[in-house]
Chains A and B, each alone.
Chain A
Amino acid sequence: SQQGEEDPQALSIQEGENATMNCSYKTSINNLQWYRQNSGRGLVHLILIRSNEREKHSGRLRVTLDTSKKSSSLLITASRAADTASYFCVGAGNNRKLIWGLGTSLAVNP
């Protein structure tokens, strides 16, 4: 099964700073996805990057993908208190079953 493991487990920054989270996976993928989860809620899809892409932007989000290292990073620029959440990555391939990591817990302090 595809897998995502996030690093660091927890991150605390000040509002306005950038936040970088990393993700590793073990098998070949067709795309890699990042999600956000606010406390006690469902996950929200943020961005999808395909295996033939190296970088993708969406608003304040920047995602990179290095398939040779089986890793991805999510950069949130100019963070806001509302970005406080857990962030998950998951690599998707031909297998419908995905294995999710424990996420990175981001705290943005006002």
Chain B
Amino acid sequence: DVKVTQSSRYLVKRTGEKVFLECVQDMDHENMFWYRQDPGLGLRLIYFSYDVKMKEKGDIPEGYSVSREKKERFSLILESASTNQTSMYLCASKTGGGGYTFGSGTRLTVV
């Protein structure tokens, strides 16, 4: 069964910490995405990558960076976590004209 795996389901971090959210897919997909989902705001795109070492900003990239050193892995980095980054983070991948495959999500709380 093909999968997108996010390393943590729940995460609690302190303000100012550097946070790494990992996402791995086993489908050889070119495109990978990081979203955050907040009540009343829906899914918002943070960053996406269409190839190894390639990245593009989404709609809300401020306070985040990403890394794609290998095709299967797309990491989201919060350089200095803040309380307004408390959210559900969703990773997804896709290839060509097909649908997205999402991970189970990481619920991050910044205290």
Residue positions of A touching B, CB distance < 8 A: 30-31, 33, 35, 40-45, 48, 88, 92, 96-103
Residue positions of B touching A, CB distance < 8 A: 4, 6, 31, 35, 40-43, 45, 48, 50, 56, 58-59, 88, 90, 92, 97-105, 107
A30, A42, A48, A96: the one within 8 Å of B90 (CB) = A42
Contact status of A96 and B104, CB under 8 A, knowing A45-B99, A102-B40, A103-B42: no
B48 nearest in chain A by CB position: A96
Contact status of A42 and B104, CB under 8 A, knowing A48-B98, A100-B43, A102-B40: yes
Q: Which residues of B contact A103 (CB under 8 A)?
A: 42
CA A35 to CA B35, docked complex, whole Å: 15
Q: How far is the CB of A3 from chain B (nearest CB, A)?
A: 11
A45, A92, A102: the one within 8 Å of B42 (CB) = A102
CA A40 to CA B10, docked complex, whole Å: 11
Q: Would you give 19 A-B contacts (Cβ < 8 Å), ordered by A? A: A30-B97, A33-B99, A33-B100, A40-B88, A42-B90, A42-B105, A43-B90, A43-B100, A45-B99, A45-B100, A45-B101, A45-B102, A96-B48, A97-B59, A98-B45, A100-B35, A102-B40, A102-B41, A103-B42
Contact status of A31 and B97, CB under 8 A, knowing A42-B90, A102-B42: yes
What 18 additional pairs, Cβ within 8 angstroms, besides A42-B92, A97-B45, A102-B41? A35-B99, A35-B100, A40-B88, A40-B105, A41-B104, A41-B105, A42-B4, A42-B6, A43-B43, A43-B90, A44-B102, A45-B99, A48-B98, A96-B56, A99-B59, A100-B43, A102-B42, A103-B42
Q: Which residues of A contact B97 (CB under 8 A)?
A: 30-31, 92
Q: Are A97 and B58 in contact (CB under 8 A)?
A: yes
A97 nearest in chain B by CB position: B45
Q: Which residues of B contact A101 (CB under 8 A)?
A: 42
